[in-house]
Structure 1
Amino acid sequence: MTVTKPDREPSLLERAAKVYDFNAHARLRGTAVPTPPQVDAPPVAPVVPPVIEAPEPESPKLETQIEEAPAPTPAPVSEAEPSHEFVDPTFLAIPEELRAPVGDELPDEFYLPDEASDTVRIDRGMLAANGMIVPGAPVGPLAEEFRLIKRQLLITGARIAESGSADKARMILVCSARPGDGKTFCAINLALSIAAERDTEVLLVDADVAKPDVVAQLGLTDGPGLLDALGDTRIDVEDFVIQTDVPHLSILPAGSKTSMDTELLASARTKSVIARLLEANPRRVVIFDSPPALAASPASVLAMRVGQVMLVVRADHTPENELRAAVNLLDGCEHIQLVLNAVSFVQGGARFGSYYGHAS
């Protein structure tokens, strides 16, 4: 028996479930989430199932024909006006227009781990929930924003290399003046964006050694890393580099916490560890997610090692005097680029991503 339901626009929750596949996370925990029936599927030839008998002997036997609907054709992105609902502050106040785009449904294997692989799988669902770039998803406004940012950084890096500092040209420090400005958010998205380049490998180093968060934001398991290699000269730092399932992207955790983190980063050992990371892959660009410049001293130490600093400034949050103080602390690096984060768009104004059909 075929039941036809009236056509209706899918709800926001249904559209989100279609894109981010909440069932995948439930399956990983051994629970099942009921999937709503598809109402827009075209009719197909019926498939005759086995006869189903009623439980009571005196009841007549029932024969039921069940029609199986094929996978629905991906629906076009809605052109509805953006939502103005409250946004959780853990999303760093990134506007709705810059959240992960709504696009075609992706297969389960896109989210589920591949146990046979030598690489670790980054949690795409967690990236999407945090409003970050999702590798393999349709190009959206946020991806376009970071395309512009990375292009400027790569161009500046090429100029630094031409001036005779080839090693520094391959290193970028992502920093902020104060906590909460979104530096880790920007560091992860920058790494994902540069990893999409055809000729570049990216190593994202969690150098916020006091409060590391990169590994957790990617849904990975923490382990030894940078500080362990700095504290023991017998350790090869490459042994701690995590290869991910995102092409061209690897991660180096912060490692075991110590009260001597600034001293370790300022030691001669840091120079040899960084040289090892660069030597291991000549195509590698190293991105350091550092502590806020005004909150911890390692930022100013790391700034002297890299070719560029990407200083994240949060709109309507970072005072000008703190921004100037942060720049002064980071002046060991000659090239400091400012990135304005969490900008509010004017209704009706131009947005990146409209060319791809994902801007509302």
Structure 2
Amino acid sequence: MTVTKPVRELSLLERAAKVYDFNAHARARTGAQQHVSELETDWPVDAAVDAPAAAPVAKPAGAGPAFIDPTFLAIPEELRAPVGEELPDEFHLPNGSGDAAMIDRGMLAANGMIVPGAPVGPLAEEFRLVKRQLLIASARIAESDSPDKARMILVCSARPGDGKTFCAVNLALSIAAERDTEVLLVDADVAKPDIVHQLGLTDGPGLLDALGDSRIDVEDLVIHTDVPHLSILPAGSKTAMDTELLASTRTKAVIARLLEANPRRVIIFDSPPALAASPAAVLAMRVGQIMLVVRADRTPENELRAAVNLLDGCEHIQLVLNAVSFVQGGARFGSYYGQEAS
């Protein structure tokens, strides 16, 4: 008797592999810089994650070396910038160096986050709506209150596990897509920093180091990335005095330096949960508005009210409902762009 094997749905990683070339990125992460003269290579975009890497097309004799960024190959062909043309000014690093840290697109896709350069999907469209409300509020705060505070957003939650870091990363990626805005994502969850890991970057000194040593220029610790308009500031060296450092006058000077370094910069702080760690309340006094992430399936109203009370140092608190149940067949962002809801 012949048994027909049922068709297995693709896993999350396998679906991600259709968007991002994992093999090319793995080669770049291990430092293998391949010099090719043609855009076409033998790297299969739809290959399985563990498929062996094929050799790139050989360089014709006498041709000059040209490094092809694997990130470029991961972007759908119809979205790629023309090769050989000079990039506009906003795509160059502020310091003019071409040294940028590579964001791990494969990790973003595997974690269900927005992937820069990928077609617009439901998540990207939802964060477009979220960021637009925040940017509109920033403009109003700048007119009526403090222009500096208006450029700072704190992403927080009541308890751990509500998705604040997930929302902070996606918000930063979404705002970075704006034509006239630069984004600095600061890992201010100093007790349990995770931003650098989520993006596949190498950790190093950061916010706490600059706060603890007045000789350090915090701008020197900012990590410029290969995602246009996006930079990262790690949490830095852990200390038992983190809340005291954040509450010190040195913090005001550090923030002023970050704002002064780039007039187009919006700073997003990923904060510790308000009910789990004290730095959140301290940071709330420094920013113009707070995006408070509420998990739909588990944040009780009493904890939400308690978190809002702790964060009352900031007058403008916006609530974002996370982990809303998806009903099959219901309305879902992304279908307008030809994306299949899943």
Question: Which TM bucket (shorter chain)?
Answer: 0.7 to 0.9
Report if the CA contact (8 A) 1:141-1:359 is conserved. no
State the SS of the aligned residue for 2:153.
strand
Mapped partners of 1:276, 1:35: distance in 2: 45
Report if the CA contact (8 A) 2:138-2:151 is conserved. yes
Residue in 1 aligned with 2:314?
A: 333
Residue in 2 aligned with 1:129?
A: 110
Report if the CA contact (8 A) 2:169-2:195 is conserved. yes
Deviation at 1:23, TM superposition (A): 2.4
Report if the CA contact (8 A) 1:308-1:334 is conserved. yes
Mapped partners of 1:260, 1:271: distance in 2: 17
State the SS of the aligned residue for 1:238.
helix
State the SS of the aligned residue for 2:190.
coil
Mapped partners of 1:262, 1:216: distance in 2: 23
Distance 1:300 1:358, change over 3 A: same
Deviation at 1:34, TM superposition (A): 4.2
Distance 1:125 1:106, change over 3 A: farther
Amino acid across the alignment from 2:110:
A
Q: 1:262 aligns with which of 243, 254, 278?
A: 243
Report if the CA contact (8 A) 1:26-1:33 is conserved. no
Report if the CA contact (8 A) 2:162-2:322 is conserved. yes
Residue in 1 aligned with 2:223?
A: 242
Amino acid across the alignment from 1:328:
N
Q: 2:187 aligns with which of 179, 203, 206?
A: 206
The percentage of aligned residue pairs carrying the same residue is 85
Deviation at 1:283, TM superposition (A): 0.4
Amino acid across the alignment from 1:17:
A
Q: 2:199 aligns with which of 205, 214, 218?
A: 218
Residue in 2 aligned with 1:23?
A: 23
Query: Could you list the runs of 5+ residues in structure 2 that have no partner in the other structure?
Result: 1-6, 33-48, 55-74, 80-96
Mapped partners of 1:220, 1:250: distance in 2: 11
Matched pairs, number: 280
Q: TM-score, normalised by structure 2?
A: 0.77
Deviations 1:83-142 (A, max 9, x none): xxxxxxxxxxxxxxxxxxxx95799xxxxxxxx941111000000000000000000000
1:319 matched to 2:300? The reply is: yes
Distance 1:203 1:117, change over 3 A: same
Report if the CA contact (8 A) 2:16-2:109 is conserved. no
Distance 1:32 1:157, change over 3 A: closer
Residue in 1 aligned with 2:51?
A: 33
CA RMSD of aligned residues (A): 2.6
Report if the CA contact (8 A) 2:154-2:269 is conserved. yes
Amino acid across the alignment from 2:323:
A
State the SS of the aligned residue for 1:175.
strand
Amino acid across the alignment from 2:149:
K
Mapped partners of 1:268, 1:284: distance in 2: 22
Distance 1:203 1:15, change over 3 A: closer
Deviation at 1:22, TM superposition (A): 3.1
Q: 1:197 aligns with which of 151, 158, 178?
A: 178
Report if the CA contact (8 A) 1:299-1:330 is conserved. yes
Deviation at 1:19, TM superposition (A): 2.2
Mapped partners of 1:204, 1:294: distance in 2: 22
Report if the CA contact (8 A) 2:125-2:334 is conserved. yes
Q: TM-score, normalised by structure 1?
A: 0.73
Distance 1:16 1:195, change over 3 A: closer
Deviation at 1:11, TM superposition (A): 6.4
Mapped partners of 1:106, 1:175: distance in 2: 37
State the SS of the aligned residue for 2:129.
helix
Residue in 1 aligned with 2:142?
A: 161
Residue in 2 aligned with 1:290?
A: 271
Amino acid across the alignment from 1:168:
K
Amino acid across the alignment from 1:19:
V
Distance 1:138 1:210, change over 3 A: same
Amino acid across the alignment from 2:268:
I
Moved more, 341-350 or 244-253: 341-350
Mapped partners of 1:23, 1:163: distance in 2: 51
Deviations 1:192-248 (A, max 9, x none): 000000000000000000000000000000000000000011111001000000000
Of the two, which has the highest radius of gyration? 1
Amino acid across the alignment from 2:198:
Q
Mapped partners of 2:235, 2:53: distance in 1: 40
Mapped partners of 2:98, 2:290: distance in 1: 35
